[in-house]
Structure 1
Amino acid sequence: MTEVFSAGVLVYRRGTAGIEVLLGHMGGPLWAKKDASAWSIPKGEYVPGEETARVAAAREFTEELGLPVPEGEWIDLGEVRYGSGGRRKTVTVWAVEGDLDPAAVVPGTFEMEWPPRSGRLSVFPEIDRADWFDPATAQDKLGKGQRPFLTRLTESLG
C-alpha cells in the first residue's frame, strides 16, 4: 500500500454567530459541478524527512491560496488517516485564527490531461473559489476524511 503525507492549515474566524472556517472548492473539471464533499482545507502533499509537516502546511496554504498563513497561534489539530484503492493518506492539520478575504485568493495551478485520452494537457486552478462556512455547513462541504478536524477545532475553542 502506498502511503501519502499531506499537511494543511484551517483558518477560522470568530463572528457574532460563532466561528467560521475558510475552505477551498477543489478546482478542475472533475469537481466543477459538485458541491457536497467537494471543498477542502488548504493542504497538500509533502515528503517526511525533506520538510516538516508544519513547514509543508504553510507552503501548501500559500501555493493553494496565493496568500500567506495569517499571523497567530497555530493550534495542532492532529492527524487523520484514511485510504482506498491501495493508497493510504495521513493528513496533519493546524488551525490559525485570521480573517482572509476570499476575493483576494490567487490559486496555484496544476496540469492534467483533459479531455481524457485526448493527449492534451490543460491547466486548472488548485481551488476555483474559497469561502467561509459555519462548522455545520462545512461538515457537508468537506470530504469525509477531513471532517474530524472541524470537530477537533470546535472542541479546542470550547
Structure 2
Amino acid sequence: MTEDGPSASQYLPPTYIRVLALALIRHPSSGALFVTEYLDPARGESLHRPAGGGIEFGETAEQALRREFREEFETEIEVGERVAVLENIFVFNGRPGHEWVVLHDARFLDDAMHGPGPHPVLDAPTDLGIWRPPTGTDLPRLVPDALADLV
C-alpha cells in the first residue's frame, strides 16, 4: 500500500494470489508479538497480523520485510530464519482473498520500537503496530489462522 493508498481497513483483496512476507518479532523482555492491528469493517472485527507486506517482483522475502518496515514504521529490522510458508484463503471486507505468506523471525534494530506504543502505520493511518501479549483472553483474532499453531 502506498501513502495515498487505502488503509488496511479499506483494503479489498486482489483477484489474484498475493505473496506476502511477514515478520515474527518477539519483545525481548515480555515475549509479546509485534502485530499490526486493524479492523475488518464488513464484520466489525479487529484483527492482529504480524507486520510486513507484499513481495514485489524481483525482491526476496527478506528484502520485502526490510522495505516494508522502513515504509510502515521508519525503522530497520534484522531478518532471521524462515519459519514457515503458509497458504491463506480468507474473506476480508466482504471479498475473498488468497495469499501465500513467507514468515520470518526478525528483530528490531531500534530499541525505541520496544516501547509500549502504539506505533502508527505510516502508510495506513487507521492501523497500529502494537505488542500483543503472549497469552490472554479477549485478544483479537491472529491472522492468518494457521499462525496459532506456530506462535
Same fold (TM over 0.5): yes
Alignment pair present for 1:63 and 2:57: no
- The separation in 2 between residues aligned to 1:68 and 1:2, in whole angstroms, is 30
The structural deviation recorded for 1:82 is 1.4
Residue by residue over 1:31-64, the C-alpha shift from the partner in whole angstroms, topping out at 9 and shown as x without a partner, is 9x643xx1221111123x4211111112112222
- The separation in 2 between residues aligned to 1:126 and 1:63, in whole angstroms, is 15
Which consecutive residues of structure 1, in runs of 5 or more, have no partner in the other structure? 110-123, 154-158
Equivalence for 2:150: 152
Give the aligned CA root-mean-square deviation in angstroms: 3.3
- Percent of paired sites with the same residue: 15
Equivalence for 1:121: none
More helix by share: 1
Of the three residues 52, 57, 63, the one matched with 1:43 is: 52
Residue by residue over 1:104-158, the C-alpha shift from the partner in whole angstroms, topping out at 9 and shown as x without a partner, is 835222xxxxxxxxxxxxxx5162x22222333499434441552x5435xxxxx
Partner-residue secondary structure (3-state), 2:76:
coil
- The separation in 2 between residues aligned to 1:66 and 1:51, in whole angstroms, is 19
Normalised TM-score (structure 2): 0.64
Q: 1:93 to 1:138 in 2, by over 3 A?
A: farther
Q: 1:13 to 1:138 in 2, by over 3 A?
A: farther
**Residue type at the aligned position of 2:102:** T
| Contact 2:26–2:33, Cα closer than 8 Å, also in 1 | yes
The structural deviation recorded for 1:5 is 0.3
Equivalence for 2:11: none
Query: Which has more radius of gyration?
Result: 1
Aligned pair count? Answer: 128
Q: 1:87 to 1:21 in 2, by over 3 A?
A: closer
Of the three residues 18, 23, 29, the one matched with 1:4 is: 18
Runs of 4+ in 1 over 3 A off after TM superposition: 84-87, 102-106, 137-140
Which consecutive residues of structure 2, in runs of 5 or more, have no partner in the other structure? 1-14
Normalised TM-score (structure 1): 0.62
Alignment pair present for 1:81 and 2:101: no
**Residue type at the aligned position of 1:108:** L
